[in-house]
Structures are given as structure tokens and as C-alpha cells.
Structure 1
Amino acid sequence: MSFIHERRTRNSRLLSRNTIINLLRFFWVILVIWCEFGVFFYSLSDCKWPDKELKEAGSTEKPTRVLLISDPQLPNPRRSGISWFGYSASSTRYLRKGWSVVTRLHPHAVVWLGDVLASGRYVTSEDEYENYVDEFKGIFSTDKSVPNYFVPGNRDVGLGESSTFSKNSRKYFTEYFGPLNQEVNLAGHRLLFIDAPGLVDEDYRRHGMGKQYETWTPAVGGPIEFIASVAIKASSSPIILFSHIPLSRPASTSCGPLREQGSIRASAGHGYQNMLGKQTTRFVLHTLHPAVVFSGDNRDYCNITHQLRSTDANILAKTTVREVTVKSFSPSRHIRRPGFQLLSLVHPDSAVSPHGPTFADAHCLLPDTFRIFSSIYVPALVLTAIALLYFNISPDRHHRRSSTLSPVSVSRSRPGSPPPGPESAIWSNWSPRRSNGPTTPSTALPPSLRVSSAKEIFTFRALSSSSTPGSPLDSPLLSPIPLFHAGHEDEMNPVHYPSQHHNDNIWPSGEDTHEAPSFLPSPSAHRSERKWSSWSWSWSFVFRERRRRVTIALPTWGEMRRFGASLNNDSTSRGKRRGMVWRLAGDSMSVALPAVVTWALIGWLFF
């Protein structure tokens, strides 16, 4: 018996309230670390440089790796009012965490496809702009040996005329980020970065004057003049074009399966335009003959192929140009998962054949913050709330059940005897059969099961005038019959019950009473009531050569009614209710505090 008692004590300690609360603390700390930082590493587990495609084509040269980032749109700390709980702060923390993981890919060069600053076009003070750029460089820091090339976006330098745009935005961008239009030679390729917002502005002026590109006099230092100067150079190196604004395409053009929804459609408004004009697109493609085009601005991924006129003598060998619109690196309401692009280059001279591939690109994704919240945080919060409610509402019920069983000595039953009743241990100690000696309980029943007078229930007497050893006489406390409800005839023979037909108000004791005795419910009553439970989950397993079963069930309607009624009974119930609320609040704070501290530390490291 001592062994069984020790084992039950040990099991109760393992499932004690303090143990569960400590497990919940540990669970939430691990969950916060994973959701706030670990998911970034997991999302990039399959993101690899596309070097394998070039090696399969026969190239033996080590590729040059270029990282393409579009639309980081860093918020301005002075204008957005960044706080720890604001959207701007959340976006900034996301950028920091994403960049800290992406830099582990060790690129040889980084190309930024515009909209580097979310409000660069509104900054009128050079000091503010300088602080803004310092904030950007503090987040997106790279090794000094890694060059960074910037393409201007409409949020950086503006697009169109507006009194709210800074007149010095282009000057500031050129001073801190580099030329608006530039050409870079890298791994035998000509990388062209064009000022797409400036190209749209000049296209509006050209169209307003009713001139074609052939008769148009380009603006000095403008994008059209730059494109024309590149075309004059005689070079066989492949051209890779980078533009913030995508090129024109029909509205029905599909962006491929990697796009989240819809396609890019032509639209324009205050300070933006979704794509270049048709004539501008034709001018760019037929003048530069790029091998591939990379663009941004649209936030979502898009992969299309532009058809070129095969009658043009300069492009007889090439009639199509592929364009990839890179996903936004910052979170946005337009997409669920941000992303970026990887570009690998090999020198054309190292290619096995003249027409072999000299570049390859791959699409990579960052974590979905909305899915993390809805699929991880919310279910974990609900399960934690259920666990805390269970351990704060049910301790009294568990205490009553254990107190019913504890004061009664339990003896080993004979083979073939019925199992112990779940409501009282007396069932396991007494049997109506004749026994060799007294088997009555050695200790008194707990006060919860005592009655004021045995005569208030009934007097059970044997059928014979003389009692036999081991049979109950006048004490109903030795019989299991009073502990079961009289209405459940499936548990016992109804002939053993005292008859009430002689008088509805007179019990065998002779006393006049108007209230029926209070009986404890039988096991069948619990089973029938449990059938009304809306949901339950059971798990059976074998532990220490014994089969065990764990069942989790929602409270039944009867239990909820009894619980609700008990809350309004008396001052003791109200005191218990207040104590339960304070205990629940304390446990909730105790579980949440380590997770909040962990979240704050991660936010401090990436803010």
C-alpha cells in the first residue's frame, strides 16, 4: 500500500499546478524565440544560390553572386513616430531580422531596386536626410568589400509634380546613394541602372509635345540620353537591365505560379505609376536588347516574357526578353510573404557554347507574419487559457474527490468481486455476501459524506431476526445503497429500497419529512451526463506495464449550470470566485512575464 501511495504522490507531483505553469513558461519562451527569429532561418533553409544551373551548363568558373533587394521602404523615425508597438516599429524589426539572416548568404554585390526610403521624397532638410540614411545603413550594414548599387524609386526621388515633394530629393539621393543612371561591369556583364521615375516624367513631356522618341531631344543627364549613349557603345557583353518600375505588358499577362494573386495592371496616381508606357517599353527593349530585366515597385513576384519584333535586324537571334519583378523585402498588406532574388553570373568567355547561359536567378521568401500570428500564437494562447482555467477552476473538485477516498482504508478484493465504485471506497470494503469476519471501515467517513442522523435516511435491517457477522445492522453508513441515487435502478435491485407507497411523507423511521434525502449520483449518472459533453479527446498508452488513459473533455452543461449556481449562493462562494479570478490572473501574468521579457530582448536586439 505504501508503494501505491508513493507512486500516486509522485504522479500527482508530475501533474501538479506548479509543474504545469513552469512547463507553460518554458513553452512560451521557446515559442517566442522561434516565431520572432527562428522562422527566418527556417524560411531560408531551401534558399540557395542558383550556381548549380550554370555548372550543369558546363561552366567551370566560380559564379559571382548578386543579391537583389526591392522596396525595403525603411520608415523615417522622425516622421512615422516609431514606437515598440507601432506598425513602423514592427516593419523596422522585420527588416533587421530579415537582413541579419539574408547576409549569411554572403553575396559579392547587392543591388537595391528602388524605394529604399519610405519617405525620402518628403525630406527637405539635408540633416534629416543624413540621419535617415544613417538609419538605413545601420540596419542594412554590409562588409566594406561588398559593393552596393542603388536604383531610384518613386518614394526616393518622387514622380510627377507635387508641392509636398522635396525639390532636393534627387540631389540628396545622388549624394548619399549614387548616380541616378549608371552602368557597372560585373563578371563580363553590363549592369544598367536607370532612373525609371525620371523616365516616366520625361515621357509625359515628350507625349505632351506630340513627339516620337526618334525626334525627341533628350534632357541633359536624363534617362533617355543615358539609354541612347549605352546603345552607341559597341560591346558583345550581355546587358542586364534594372528598373524600379516594371515594363508595359497586356493586362491579361500571367505572372506565373509564384505570384500570390492577380497580375500587374496599368494604373497611375499621385506620385506613382504601375508600369512604363507602351512606347517607352518598346524604346527601351529595342534600344538596349537586354538579356534579362529586373524590376520592383509592385511588391509581388512576377515572371513574364516580352515578345520582340523579329523583323528588326539587330535582334534576329533574340525575339524574347524575360522580366522578373522582385518581391518586396518589407512586409506589406498586398502580400503575405516578402522575398528577394538571387542572381549568379559567370563570365561569357567561360561558357562552353556561345549561346550557353551566363546567368541564373532564384526566388526566395521570408516568413509570413500574419500566418505566424493566426496559426501559432492564437492557438497557443487558446490552449494556454484552457489549461490555466482548468487548473484554477477544478482544484476544489479534485480536493473533494481525494478527500472522499483518503480516510477509508482500501483492502484487496477477492477474485471475482466487483470493482471499487468511483464515488466511495466503501463499495470495495463491504459486500452483501457473508464474510469470515468484520470488514467495516476502520475509520470514520469524512464530514462531506456524513448525515445528521441515520434515521433521516432509513434503517436497513436484514431479512432474518438475528444478524450474522459482517452484515450491517442499523448503520446505513456501512451500506453503499445510500450513496447512490434511488432513481437509478440499473445499479441495484429495487426490492432493496424502502417502500414509500404507504405514505409519501412518512419514512420508515416514523418521522414526518417533506424533503427527500440527498443521494450522491451513481457512476451511471456521470456517464450519462458526460455524453452531453460537446468535445472530448482520449489517449491510451502503456506505461510501466500498465495500460493508462488520459481524457480531456469540455465541461458538460450540468457542470456549467452547477458552477454558475454556486457563484451566486453566498458570501463564501463569492469569496471563492474572487480568489479564483485573482489566482487565474496571477498564473496568467506568471506565464506571460518570461515570454514578454524574451520578446522585449529580441526587439531590443533588432531595433
Structure 2
Amino acid sequence: MSFIHERRARNSRLLSRNTTINLLRFFWVVLVIWCEFGVFFYSLSDCKWPDKELKEAGSTEKPTRVLLISDPQLPNPRRSGISWFGYHASSTRYIRKGWSVVTRLHPHVVVWLGDTLASGRYVTSEDEYENYVDEFKGIFTIDKSVPNYFVPGNRDVGLGESSAFSKNTRKYFTEYFGPVNQEIDLAGHRLIFIDAPGLVDEDYRRHGMGKQYETWTPAAGGPIEFIASVAIKGGRSLHTLDVPIILFSHIPLSRPASTSCGPLREKGSIRASAGYGYQNMLGKETTRFVLHTLRPAAVFSGDNRDYCDMTHQLPGTDVNVLAKTSIREVTVKSFSPSSHIRRPGFQLLSLIPPDSVVSPHGSTFADAHCLLPDTFRIFNSIYLPALVLTAIVLLYFNISPDRHRRRFSTLSPDSATRSRPSSPPPGPESAIWTNWSPRRSSGPTSPGSALPPSVRVPSAKEIFTFRALSSAPGSPHDSPLLSPIPLFHAGHEDEMDPAHYPSQHHSDHVWPSGEDVHEAPLFLPSPSARRSERKWLSWSWSFVFRGRRRRITIAPPTWGEIKKLYASDNGDSMSRGKRRGMLWRLGGDSVSVALPAVVTWALIGWLFF
């Protein structure tokens, strides 16, 4: 028996309320660490630089690694406000965690493909713009030896005419991020960064005057003049093969609406549209002018949020036999979370000098697509089921705490004996009738007079009971034996003494002397009396099931029933004061489970991100 009690005690400790709550705390701490921080490191487990593709071309040069980031769209803290919750706050935290993981790839160069600031075009004060840039640099920290090149986006410098746009936005962008149009030489390649929003604005002016690009006089310092100067400097106007050009533009180039973006795109394709402050593709004439003038080896763009990989085909009349007739364009995924995509991302680009390529058809660059975690899937597939499971467990332990305390209380062989009140010494008659009761009732008690003859025990037969007696001396095991002891004998007419009744209290009520009297001192109220109080608010349905008539009644809870959910009105007490209502206990347990996870989330985010 002791083994059974020990096993029950061990199981009760494992399934106790405190043990379960501690397990839930540990579960949520691990879950928060993984879903808020671990998934970012796990998402980069398959993200590697495409250096292997360049080695297959026979090059022994170490590739130059370029990190491409599109549309970070950092919110302005002065306009969006400082808050721990909300879309802007969660987006900023996501960007911060994503960038801290991406920098572990150790790029040599970082190229930003536009929309660096979410509301840079609205900033009219230089002090506010400077604080905005400081916020950006505080989040996107990187080694000072790594150069950064910025392509202007429509959210950075604006697009079109609007009184809400700042007149000095291009001046601020040039001062803090660099020229809006620029070119650099890197690993034997020429990287061209163009002002796509400015190109769209100039294209509108050209089209409004009804001129072609061949007869158009470019604006001084504008993107069209810059593209023409790059072509002349590199000899591109003569259609000769020169240093490979890689073009970077915030706005994608024009393409037919039916053009596929490849299997890596989440949904749809890029279609021509324009609106207030944006245009999602360059015009057809502008695209033809850019591709025909620069003849880039590849184009990388942004703005669309989703990934797109397509190829532009140049007409045969526009090129000679030595020039390329197809140009690949990659639209890089947005780095910040958006409702248009499930998983943000970025692009990796590796470059090697053209003279190091042994194979005549070998490529001098390669790129790879990388993804960041899906926050919507994390919430729907992990957080929501875990929240429902936790709520069920806490409800189970709080909906009836007394029952669970009795069920999971620690039992021992001596606990029942120690906790039971002292009982009178057993006598011959106490095996069946006794005047001791483990619980005294405050209600009506048994009468003190003799029972009527009709309900007395018949005296025709003997009634035997069994008592445990010690074995005779010399018994092998000294074990108790059961021996019958007659309590009532034939012919014994002894009436039952009222002292043998289970209650020690007596009342003035007496048993009726006759057998035909059936009156009772107390009656329960009629069931219909209570139903009539809420009859006008209740709904009932009667039906017959298995030969019996059934009734289902649905009624709103009364004020007293609602009050019991928050606080119990009985006099029982718990270890920490009076017993509280179910919702109060449930709320306390929920806070107790969530608090360690929230503290862990805030601490890790503050220390490492």
C-alpha cells in the first residue's frame, strides 16, 4: 500500500497547479526566443553567396560581394510617434532584427535600391531630416570600411507635383546619402545608379512637348543627361564591347503585362499603373532609351515589394551582331514587411573581374535570392495555437479549483488517520449504527423518538456483522480474522435508541405513530416558480428521446451568476486570503505565465538588437 501512496504522491506533484504553470512559463519563454529571434538566424541557413557559380567559370579571383537592399522604408519617429505597439513599431523591430542578422554575411559593398526613408519626401526641416537620417544609421549600423551607395526612390525624393512634398528633398538626399545619379567601378564592372523618379518626371515633360529622345534637350544635371554622358564615356554609342555595366534603378523597366516573374514571386506580376506620388514602371520609350544607350549586362530594381526575374529582348535592328540581344532584370524583394508579401527578402551579388574568366562564355557576376521570416505564418501557425492551448490549460485548472486540489492533493498512508476526527471506541453495536458523524449538519436533524414499527428492523432473523479480531496467540502471521458477531437475535424487540442516529443533535419533531401519515416538515419550492422569473428571456425546446420527454432551456445568466465569476461569496479561505472568482484567478495565472516571456523578449531585444 505504501508503494501506491508514494506513486500517487509523485503523480500529484507532477500534475499540480504550480508545476503546470511553471511548465507554461518555460514553454512561452522558449517560444518567444525562437519566434522573435531564432527564426531570423534559421532563415539565413540556406542563404549563401553565389561564389560557387563563378568558380565554375574557371576564375581563381576572390569575388567581390555586394548586398542589395530594397525598400527598407524606415518610418519617421516624429511623424509615426514612439510606441511599442502598432504597425510602425513592429515594422521597425522587424527591420532591426533582420539587419542584425544580414550583416553576419559580411558584404564588401551595400547598395540601397530606393525608398530608404518611408516619409523622406515630406520632411521640410533640415533638423528633422538630420534626426531622421540618424535614426536610420542607428538601426542600419555597419562597419565604416564597407561603402554604401544609395539609389533615390519616390518616397525619398518624391515623384510628380504635390504641395505636400518638400522643395528641398533632393538637396537633403544629396547631402546625407550622396548624388542621385552616380557611377562607380567595382571588380572590373561599372555600376550605374540612376534617379528613376527624376527620369519619370523628365519623361512627362518630354512627352508633353511631343518630342522624341533623339531631339530632346536634356535638363542640366538630370538623369537623361547623365545616361547619355555614361554612354559617350564608355563608347557605348558605337555598340562596342566594353566594361560590363550593371544598372540599378528604383523603378522597374517596362515590360508586357503578361510577362511572368518566375516561380520565386509570391503572386501576380508587375503591371503598369500610376498614382499619387508613384509609378510602378518606366515608360516604354524611356525603357528603350535606357537599354539601347547603356546596354547593361543586368538590371536590378526595386519598388514593387515582390520578387521578379524576367528578360528584356532588344529588337534586332537596334543592335549589331556583337552586342547582346537579351538583358536580364531582377526586381529585389522589399526588406521591410508589407501586406503585399508574406516574406521580405534581399539579394546577394558576387562580381569577379572579366579578365579572370577563362571560359569565353563564362559569367562575370552571379546573384542569389534570400528570404526573411514570415511574420503572418508565425502568428497563425505558432502563436495562435499556443495561445489557445495555454488558455485551455489555465481554464482547466481554474474552472473548479476545489476539485483539482482534492484530486492532486498529496496522499500518504497516515494522512487519512491524522486528518480524521477522533471517533468513539468501537463497540459491538457500532459496526452498523453509531452516533458519530464526520460532518455536523446545521440543517434539520433526525427526530428523537422511536421509529414506527413498520420501518424497524425485522426480528425474525439474526443480522451478522464482521469485525476484525486479533488471532489467537501462536498464530503464524498474527493477522486479524473476521468472525461473525450476532447483534440482533430472534425475539429481541428492542426499539432503536435515538442516540444511535448519525446526528448528535435532536429536534422536537417526532415520528408519526401511524403508517398513513406522510406529511413532511419542509418542502422544496416548485421548479416552475423559478423558471417563471426569466421566462420572457429564456428559450425552451421540448423533444422525445428514447421514450422520455426532454426539455432544453437556454436563459441569460442572472446578476448573481455573473458576480460569481469574479468573486465567490462563500466563507471558504485559501492560502492567500479569501477565495476569488474564476476570471480573477484566470487573469492572474495568465499574467504569471506571460510575464517571464515578455521580460525575456524585452531583455534580448535591448541587449542584442
* Category of TM-score, reference length = shorter chain: 0.7 to 0.9
Of the candidates 462, 465, 471, which is equivalent to residue 461 of structure 2?
465
What amino acid sits opposite 1:465 in the alignment? K
Q: Which residues of 2 match residues 82-161 of structure 1 at below 5 A? A: 82-161=82-161
Q: Distance in 2 between matches of 1:230 and 1:463?
A: 125
* Native 8 Å contact 2:5 2:412 kept in 1: no
* 1:9 aligned residue: 9
- Residue 355 (structure 2) pairs with residue 349 (structure 1): yes
* 1:195 aligned residue: 195
* Native 8 Å contact 1:388 1:587 kept in 2: yes
Deviations 1:533-575 (A, max 9, x none): xxxxxxxxxxxxxxxxxxxxxxxxx9x99x9999589999644
Q: Distance in 2 between matches of 1:441 and 1:602?
A: 69
Q: Distance in 2 between matches of 1:280 and 1:569?
A: 72
Of the candidates 239, 242, 245, which is equivalent to residue 236 of structure 1?
242
* 1:180 aligned residue: 180
* Native 8 Å contact 1:191 1:241 kept in 2: yes
* 1:311 aligned residue: 317
Shift of the alpha carbon at 1:321? 0.8
SS in 1 for 2:316: coil
Q: Distance in 2 between matches of 1:308 and 1:441?
A: 109
SS in 2 for 1:258: coil
* 1:374 aligned residue: 380
Shift of the alpha carbon at 1:604? 3.8
Structure 1 residues 570, 242: CA separation in 2 closer, same or farther (over 3 Å shift)?
closer
* Native 8 Å contact 1:348 1:358 kept in 2: yes
Structure 1 residues 3, 459: CA separation in 2 closer, same or farther (over 3 Å shift)?
farther
Q: Distance in 2 between matches of 1:404 and 1:102?
A: 53
Q: Distance in 2 between matches of 1:135 and 1:570?
A: 52
TM-score (norm 1): 0.75
Q: Distance in 1 between matches of 2:412 and 2:13?
A: 17
Deviations 1:266-317 (A, max 9, x none): 1111111010000000111111111110000011111111111123343644
Deviations 1:184-233 (A, max 9, x none): 11111111100101110111111111111111111111111111111122
* 1:492 aligned residue: none
* 1:23 aligned residue: 23
Shift of the alpha carbon at 1:582? 2.4
Shift of the alpha carbon at 1:600? 2.7
SS in 2 for 1:311: helix
SS in 2 for 1:111: strand
Q: Which residues of 2 match residues 453-602 of structure 1 at below 5 A? A: 465-468=461-464, 470=466, 512=518, 574-575=569-570, 578-602=580-604
Q: Distance in 2 between matches of 1:236 and 1:116?
A: 32
Q: Which residues of 2 match residues 241-280 of structure 1 at below 5 A? A: 241-280=247-286
What amino acid sits opposite 2:141 in the alignment? S
Structure 1 residues 220, 2: CA separation in 2 closer, same or farther (over 3 Å shift)?
same
* 1:335 aligned residue: 341
Deviations 1:119-176 (A, max 9, x none): 1111111111111111111111111111101101111111111111111111111111
* 1:550 aligned residue: none
* Native 8 Å contact 2:9 2:410 kept in 1: no
Kindly tell me the number of residue pairs found equivalent between the two proteins.
Answer: 507
Where in structure 2 are there 5+ consecutive unaligned residues? 236-240, 417-429, 467-483, 489-511, 522-551, 573-578
* Native 8 Å contact 1:246 1:296 kept in 2: yes
Q: Distance in 2 between matches of 1:591 and 1:256?
A: 45
* Native 8 Å contact 1:36 1:602 kept in 2: no
Q: Distance in 2 between matches of 1:31 and 1:168?
A: 47
Deviations 1:358-390 (A, max 9, x none): 111111111111222222221111111111111
What amino acid sits opposite 1:111 in the alignment? V
Structure 1 residues 582, 136: CA separation in 2 closer, same or farther (over 3 Å shift)?
same
* Native 8 Å contact 2:2 2:413 kept in 1: no
Structure 1 residues 86, 590: CA separation in 2 closer, same or farther (over 3 Å shift)?
same
Deviations 1:340-366 (A, max 9, x none): 001111111111222211111111111
* Native 8 Å contact 2:261 2:308 kept in 1: yes
Structure 1 residues 133, 452: CA separation in 2 closer, same or farther (over 3 Å shift)?
same
Q: Distance in 2 between matches of 1:278 and 1:448?
A: 96
What amino acid sits opposite 1:583 in the alignment? R
Structure 1 residues 568, 363: CA separation in 2 closer, same or farther (over 3 Å shift)?
closer
Shift of the alpha carbon at 1:467? 3.9
Deviations 1:222-276 (A, max 9, x none): 1111111111223621111000000001111111111111111111111110100
* 1:489 aligned residue: none
Where in structure 1 are there 5+ consecutive unaligned residues? 411-437, 476-505, 516-557
* Native 8 Å contact 2:121 2:156 kept in 1: yes
* Native 8 Å contact 1:93 1:606 kept in 2: no
Q: Distance in 2 between matches of 1:397 and 1:85?
A: 40
Q: Distance in 1 between matches of 2:367 and 2:17?
A: 54
What amino acid sits opposite 1:323 in the alignment? E
Q: Distance in 2 between matches of 1:254 and 1:402?
A: 63
* Native 8 Å contact 2:251 2:302 kept in 1: yes
Structure 1 residues 400, 126: CA separation in 2 closer, same or farther (over 3 Å shift)?
closer
* Native 8 Å contact 2:68 2:346 kept in 1: yes
Q: Distance in 1 between matches of 2:559 and 2:486?
A: 38
Structure 1 residues 180, 7: CA separation in 2 closer, same or farther (over 3 Å shift)?
same
Q: Distance in 2 between matches of 1:409 and 1:593?
A: 37
* Native 8 Å contact 1:461 1:473 kept in 2: no
Q: Distance in 2 between matches of 1:441 and 1:582?
A: 46
Deviations 1:515-550 (A, max 9, x none): 9xxxxxxxxxxxxxxxxxxxxxxxxxxxxxxxxxxx
